[in-house]
Structure 1
Amino acid sequence: MWSTPSFDSQIQKWTQQYGPIYGIFEGTCPTYVVSDVNFLQEVFIKQFSMFHSRHNNILVRMLKSNAASLFSSHANQWRRQRHIINPTFTTAKLKMMTPLMNKCIRSIMKKIDENNDNEFNIFLLYKRLTMDVI
């Protein structure tokens, strides 16, 4: 696994090989890898109260600081964060944000058009777009 270009590319290969739900071991810890959107919606939205104390994957553990995040929180802390953040991402509120996101995208597209055939660093524009949308 560590000889592949990236962890996520290996996960993609295994997903193609084994399907949308399969298990791997992180050391001695069995771990499910799930890429089935319907299953994830069931777990994280419809039944999230039943799945709040899952362990962190190896990458989160390696990068973990003392700061709390949605990816590293457990039990009551995770439940509290979820309760605070959830109302922000309703379908209606996301639809209200669409015009603002489209405005940011149009701005970036204008910058790209201004560069004509000149070489430029697209990564910087994507970073700006990401921050503007967030």
Structure 2
Amino acid sequence: MSKVVKGWLYSREHEWVEVLSETRVRVGITDFAQNQLGDLVFVELPQVGAEVVANQSMGSVESVKAVSDLFSPVSGKVVEVNSELEDSPEVINSDAYSGGWMIVVEISNPDELSELLSAEQYADFVLEG
């Protein structure tokens, strides 16, 4: 079973959301997603200042298997990007929930968080496959 962090939120597109404050969240892809993708070789993320929209593409990840879109789980403005991933995308494979975080978003619609899955719901979603 893939690791799921309790207390965090998850999208059906396999992104995780760590709530940092009432207005900020950190986003990355789940352990399940990185495992399915295989060894990551490239990550394309939005720039600081870019607007992201819930359920719309915000970048992509490329693995030895395929290129996959990243979908933003929330809407808002990107205020921080994990620049380490430019040179070391494989960090996502080894540490999807800490070192492999992707962006921090100043959310524009906090109500969108209620549309995401809890850790338990996400674990069930993955098992249902």
TM over 0.5: no
**TM-score normalized by structure 1?**
0.24
Which protein has the bigger strand share?
Answer: 2
- Which structure has the larger Rg? 1
Higher relative contact order (CA 8 A, sep 6+): 2
Which protein has the bigger helix share?
Answer: 1
**TM-score normalized by structure 2?**
0.25
